[in-house]
A = this chain, B = another copy of it.
Amino acid sequence: MAEEATPRLDIAELIRRHPAEIAEILAALNEDEAVELLRRLYLRRAAAEPLGEMEPDEAARLLAELNREDAAHILSHMEPDDAVDLLAELPPETVADILSRLEVREAKQLGELLAYPPDSAGGLMSTEVVALSADMTAERAIEELRAVAEDAETVYYAYVVDERGTLLGVLSLRDLVLARPDTPLRAIMRSDAVVLPVTMDKEEVARTFDKYNFLALPVVDEDHRLLGIVTIDDVIDVIREEATEDALKLGGIPAGEDHPLDPPQVSVRKRLPWLMGLVLLNLTVAGVISRFEATIAEIAFVASLMPLIADMSGNAAAQALAVAIRGIAVGAVHWSNLPWIMWKELRVGLFAGLVLGVQIGLIATLLWRKPLFGLVAGIALAGTTVGACLTGGMLPFMFRRLGLDPAMMSGPVATTIGDLIGIGLFLGLATAFLPYMA
C-alpha cells in the first residue's frame, strides 16, 4: 500500500477515497512523504478528515511539521473532539500559538474541551450538538437539523433544552421523521434520558454505552446543563484501548503502551525497569533456598523440580488473575464479591493442587524411584497451587482498593507468594525427611 501511495499518486483519485483509507496511507508513509502528502491534501481542502481518523499522536507529529497558520486552518475543520485529542499531544506553546490563530469562538470551544481530563466524559465529548426548544415542532426541528448538518457531530439525536441550557429531553432523528410534522417536541421527546456526568470516567462511559446500546449520549454538568455529546465511535476506541492496556499490563508492560513496530530502544525503556524490579522480588525466593543449601548438597536431585514449582506458581496465578481482572474490567464482579471469590479460589486451588500434586508425585516416584521424594514434591506443588490461586484471585481486588494498578502488580506478587509457599514446603519437607531420602 505504501508504494502506490507515494506523493506521486494521483491526488484527485486519492481524495475520493474514504478518509479512514487516506489516514492509513498517511500512517504507512515515512514522515517526509506523509507531510508532503498532507500539504497536498490541505491544498485540496481534504486534510482535516483523514487527520481525525489517525491516531492522535501520529496526527500531531504530522501537523507540527506544517506552518502554524495551515495547522490552525486544518484544526478548525476537524470534529472538535478529534481536534482536542490531537492538541493534547502537542507542547503547550504550540497549542497556544495555534489557538491564537483560530476564530475566537472556535479557540474558546477547543480551550474549554482541553480543560477536561482526557479520560473523562468531558474529554471524550464533542460540543457540536443540536439543542432545540421544547415548543418547536417536529417539522421545524428537521429543518434546523438540515441547517446544521454540516457542523454537528451527529444529527441522529437532537436535545431539548430550556433557556438556561438545562437538558429536558432527547429525540432521535427517527422519532422526528416518524412524528406528525406539527407535533411539538415536548410531546415526543423522552424526558428520562440516560446522561453522562461530565466527570464520569471513560471506562464507565464505555460500560454505559455497552449496557444501553445508544449511538450517542448527552454529557451534562452538575446542574444538568447540556455540555456536549459522546458518540459510539469514540467509545469503541475506548473499549479497544482499555482491552489492549489490560492485556499489556497482564503481560507486564506498564503504562499500557507498546506498539509491536516500536523501535527496540522504546520497547526496552518500557519493559526493562519492570523486569529489573521482578529480579529483586524473586531474590526473596533465592533467599529461602539459600537456607537449605545443606539439604541440596546432600540430595541434589531435589533441585531438579525447583524451576517446575516456580513456573507452576506463575501458571496457576495467571489463570486466577486473568479471570479476576477481566471480571473487574467488564464490571462482572466488585469488592463485595471478594469473600466469595476467596472461598472459591481456595477450593479451586485445593482441588487442582491435589490433582497436580498426585500427578507430579507419581512422575517423581517413577523417575527417581523414591516414593518419599514424590510425596514431598506433590505436597509442595499442591501448596504452590493453593497459594497462587488464592492470591491470584484476591490481589486484583486488594490492589484496586488501595488505588494501585491491579493488572500490573498482582501477577508477580501472587507468583512470588506461590513460589515462597511451594519452595519453602518443598525444601522444608525434604530437610525433615532427609535421613530417609538420601
Contacts and interface: CB of A to CB of B under 8 A. Distances in A.
A356 B4 CA distance: 44
A412 interface: yes
Interface stretch (A83-91, A104-112, A312-320): A312-320
A44 interface: no
Interface in A295-315: 296-298, 300-301, 303-312, 314-315
Interface stretch (A60-68, A69-77, A238-246, A398-406): A238-246
A323 B343 CA distance: 34
B250 A316 contact: no
B252 A250 contact: no
A355 B276 contact: yes
Q: Is the interface of A mostly helix, strand, loop or mixed?
A: helix
Interface bracket on A: 35 or more
Contacts of A412: 315
Total copies of this chain within the assembly:
2
Interface in A259-274: 259-261, 263-265, 267-268, 271-272, 274
Nearest to A172: B156
Contacts of A282: 307-308, 311-312
A50 to B, nearest CB: 12
Given A178-B149, A250-B322, A325-B247, A303 B296 contact: yes
Contacts of A251: 250, 318-319, 321-323
B285 A293 contact: no
A279 B249 CA distance: 25
Closest 6 CB pairs of A and B: A251-B322, A243-B243, A260-B327, A307-B310, A297-B300, A296-B300
Given A279-B312, A285-B307, A311-B311, 18 more contacts: A142-B177, A156-B156, A210-B237, A250-B251, A253-B319, A258-B322, A260-B323, A260-B324, A260-B341, A261-B333, A265-B351, A272-B355, A274-B319, A276-B359, A283-B363, A289-B307, A296-B296, A310-B310
